[in-house]
């Protein structure tokens, strides 16, 4: 998995493409939360849920089904007064949630992502996996492994996201 510090970078970068009349600090915060929420499944370790179980790490909470359900629930509870903008908000929250799984599929560790859960618990990775997998836990993260992870994430997530945001900003401002 990518670190909890990196997952929100993607929705922040994509936020520049949301129409100004829809974009709000609340929407960006909710999108950032959506990008992190799938990793709440690590709580399952405390209850004896195995990594490879559908409810285990990178299981159901990393699936397309979960992303659609979360985006729909948040759109129609937190943003129901957004007249006519529901589809834009829903799609932004959906992409923000799915970005978590996509980044995890680009990491070089773990068992893969159950993208099609609950229909299948088969785990997937991309063929190209350049991102160093992040350790679970603060103590492990504050080590040389954590430094390698942050350098990898800066290269493969933060810099491309900054580029996407910059291009979007220029297009929005001068387009």
* CA pair distance 27, 66, nearest whole angstrom: 19
Q: How much is the pLDDT for 170?
A: 95
From 9-13, 64-68, 76-80, 93-97, the region with the lowest mean pLDDT: 76-80
| Rounded Cα distance, 170 and 84, in Å | 26
Torsion of CA 131, 135, 136, 138, to 10 degrees: -120
What's the mean per-residue pLDDT of the chain? Answer: 93
The β-bridge partners of 155 are none
Q: Which residues pair with 131 in a beta bridge?
A: 107
pTM for this model (two decimals) = 0.93
Residue 136 banded pLDDT, cuts 50, 70, 90: confident
Considering only 27-31, 67-71, 81-85, which range has the smallest mean pLDDT?
81-85
> Is the predicted pLDDT of residue 118 greater than 90, yes or no?
yes
Spatial separation of the C-alpha atoms in residues 172 and 161, rounded to whole Å: 16
């Amino acid at each position: 998995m990518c670190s909890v510090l990196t997952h929100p970078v993607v929705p922040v970068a994509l936020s520049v493409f949301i129409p100004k009349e829809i974009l709000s600090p609340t929407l960006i915060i909710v999108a950032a939360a959506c990008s992190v929420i799938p990793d709440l499944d690590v709580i399952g370790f405390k209850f004896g849920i195995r990594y490879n179980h559908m409810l285990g790490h990178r299981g159901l909470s990393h699936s397309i089904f979960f992303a659609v359900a979360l985006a729909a629930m948040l759109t129609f509870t937190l943003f129901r007064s957004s007249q006519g903008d529901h589809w834009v908000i829903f799609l932004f929250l959906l992409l923000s949630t799915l970005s978590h799984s996509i980044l995890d599929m680009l990491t070089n560790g773990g068992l893969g992502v159950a993208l099609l859960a609950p229909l299948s618990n088969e785990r997937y990775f991309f063929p190209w996996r350049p991102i160093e997998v992040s350790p679970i836990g603060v103590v492990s993260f504050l080590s040389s492994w954590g430094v390698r992870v942050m350098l990898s994430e800066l290269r493969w997530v933060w810099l491309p996201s900054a580029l996407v945001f910059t291009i979007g900003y220029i297009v929005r401002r001068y387009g």
